[in-house]
Amino acid sequence: MAVRGYYTGDEVRAAEAELFGRVAAGVPMRRAAHGLANVVVGELRERTGGVVGRAVTLLVGSGDNGGDALWAGAMLRRRGVAVSAVLLVPERAHAQGLAALLRAGGRIREDVGSPDLVVDGIVGISGRGPLRPCAAEIVAAVDVPIISADLPSGVDPDTGVVAGPAVQADVTVAFGAYKPVHALAAPRCGRIELAPIGLRLPEPELAALAPASIGAEWPVPGPSDDKYSQGVTGICAGSDTYPGAAVLCTGAAVAATSGMVRYAGTGAAQVLANFPEVVAAETISSTGRVQAWVVGPGAGTDDLARERLSEILATNLPVVVDADALTLLATDPALLTGRTAPTVLTPHAGEFARLTGADPGPDRVAAVRDLAEKWQVTVLLKGRATLIATPGHPTLVNEAGGSWAATAGAGDVLSGVLGALLATGRDPSWSAAAAARVHALAANLAAHDRSPSGPGAPISASPLLHHIRSAIQTLRASVVRS
């Protein structure tokens, strides 16, 4: 399973300590600076058409992050860029980096001036909390693109939390490894570039599935497959109040794989009107053989809904528990007692609070891991950065790249895709992360349907559903390109 790993500050510092024992002093910093300088050069060319004679201002804090910026400034100066540095803590500026910048002809100044670009080297992975007032005032006055060294200053490296003034970067150059901030606070980071410095990293505890990996592993019919061998998905969704949930959830399962979908509930007429290939029944017991269940979207919280949830959770089949079923489960967690088959809970922040008694808080990764471990289930916590935790497995993250899916009914579509993947026998962690990726991509495709290269337009859940197959095709095409 190909993944992109995200490493905490502690994990990166441990890898750096090992690196320092293998290479000469100063080499890792100069490697990071070289990567940063190359990105700045690329941005100057893209934005201004040239490099020589362009102006860059460095915002330099204390410690190694400031040193990275200073060394990068020296390299830029040697390529003909006019480089100035604002030293936020002059007495603690990185001595060797500052000397290198001055030798190359760089200058020190008190204010940002009028540069073409600004480099944020204020704080790195050891920084915590918002920018201090002096730095915040300087950053607030910047009116040109900002390139951040390793992470946007003022954003927590491990949680992505912004607790006050912080840099809004146009580009972030990650040194040696991606950090959680690059997924959890991606909008603050802008475009993210990785500058390798030679770190030897362990298997990640937080990771994202590679798009090509999802495309390569997505279930498609083989030479000997039939409709049963490809997975039969059971959907228990919708009600007289919310019949659309049944249509969206069932339709997503139909679109996701080539197997078979069975529906149980009060929305059979609406489901069959939209998807005549679905086999419908009124009760769980009369549905027929399925290989995974999705329960809850728009299903209500009355006694009948509770009975259906209890009946489904009593099976030995994989189950996706979503929406109203999460509300019921929050009032009676004992419904999970003794359950050994894969169970995937898919809460948004409000539903998470109902399940646990508290919202996820600033450390969403820790929160989702804690619930998964406590209840021995897979938890998919929705958000722009969707998190998937399963006991004994790395936590997976899907950064959607936008918030186009923040629309009513979109979660019903996600659950249908996820249930269909579980029905094929796929691992719940992979299924949840792959479903989240396809869901996010479908939303993006729907938003840009009429003008792929232009700005997106607001969407609803129906066009998102209609782009599920296109999203799968896009990911499968990425296998060839990779």
Q: Which two tokens stand for residue 293?
A: 């269940």
Question: Cα separation of 102 and 116, whole Å?
Answer: 20
Counts for the chain of helices (H) and strands (E), in that order: 18, 18
Is 382 marked as a binding-site residue?
yes
Question: Cα separation of 218 and 412, whole Å?
Answer: 20
Question: Cα separation of 160 and 186, whole Å?
Answer: 8
Is 412 marked as a binding-site residue?
yes
312-318 long-range contacts, Cβ below 8 Å, gap at least 24? 312/234, 312/236, 312/284, 313/339, 313/343, 315/341, 316/340, 316/341, 317/234, 317/290, 317/291, 317/292, 317/293, 317/341, 318/291, 318/292, 318/293, 318/342, 318/343, 318/344, 318/422, 318/423, 318/428
Q: Which two tokens stand for residue 254?
A: 């139909």
Q: Classify burial at 131, counting beta carbons within 10 Å of its beta carbon; exposed 0-12, middle 13-18, buried 19 or more.
A: buried
Question: CA Rg, the chain, in Å?
Answer: 25
Is 183 marked as a binding-site residue?
no
Is 411 marked as a binding-site residue?
yes
Which 3 state secondary structure label does DSSP give 79? coil
Is 42 marked as a binding-site residue?
no
Q: Which of 303, 391, 384, 284 is nearest to 344 (CA)?
A: 391
CA distances from 193 to 36, 37, 38, 39, 326 (A): 9, 12, 11, 8, 38
Residue with tokens 């992505």: 160
Q: Is the separation of the CB atoms in 24 and 223 below 8 Å?
A: no
Alpha helices in 257-363 (DSSP H): 268-274, 303-313, 324-331, 349-356
Measured from the Cβ of residue 324, the count of other Cβ atoms closer than 10 Å reads 24
- The DSSP bridge partners found for residue 195 are 175
Amino acid making up residue 86: V
Helices 428-447 and 410-423, packing angle to 10 deg:
140
Q: Is the separation of the CB atoms in 319 and 415 below 8 Å?
A: no
Binding-site positions for (6S)-NADPHX: 245, 298, 348, 412
Binding-site positions for AMP: 382-386, 411
Binding-site positions: 245, 298, 348, 382-386, 411-412
